[in-house]
Amino acid sequence: MSASHYNPYRRLGLLALFATLLIALGLMLLFPVWDRFFNYLIAINVVTFAVFGYDKLVAPTQATRVPEAILLILTALGGCVGGIIARPVFRHKTLKASFRLTFWLCVLASSALIAAYYLWLCPECR
């Protein structure tokens, strides 16, 4: 594939999705009594933490960086805890004001969706 056709959004996004599904499936097999959504939340947070760390690792090199959109999407899709922990641990994406604002909006949206699931949609929680 030539460099002009390379799309980091597609590659890194699919890699993160695959890793999340693989970890969630592993957790479902190891802990079958856990809620499936809880397994997903653990998986997406592990992946989000790892992707933030990878992006910080490759930042000083010529390697392809993780697009900010991928970091924010992972955060919004339930990886808010992983993102919140990763930022100070890796000292990554802590100064850029536009990222900080969008990040915290994603955390708020993610938290609201998680709360909504456990308050109204979770069949085992009733």
Taking only the tens place, the pLDDT of each residue in 46-102 is 999 999 999 999 989 988 888 999 999 999 999 999 999 999 999 888 888 899 999
Render the chain in DSSP notation, one character per residue: --GGG--HHHHHHHHHHHHHHHHHHHHHHH-TTS-HHHHHHHHHHHHHHHHHHHHHHHTTSSSPPPPHHHHHHHHHTT-HHHHHHHHHHHT-S-S-HHHHHHHHHHHHHHHHHHHHIIIII-GGG-
Whether 15 shows a pLDDT value over 70: the answer reads yes
Per-residue tokens: 117: 């699931």
Evaluate whether 77 touches 41 at the Cβ level (below 8 Å): no
Whether 37 shows a pLDDT value over 60: the answer reads yes
pTM, full prediction: 0.88
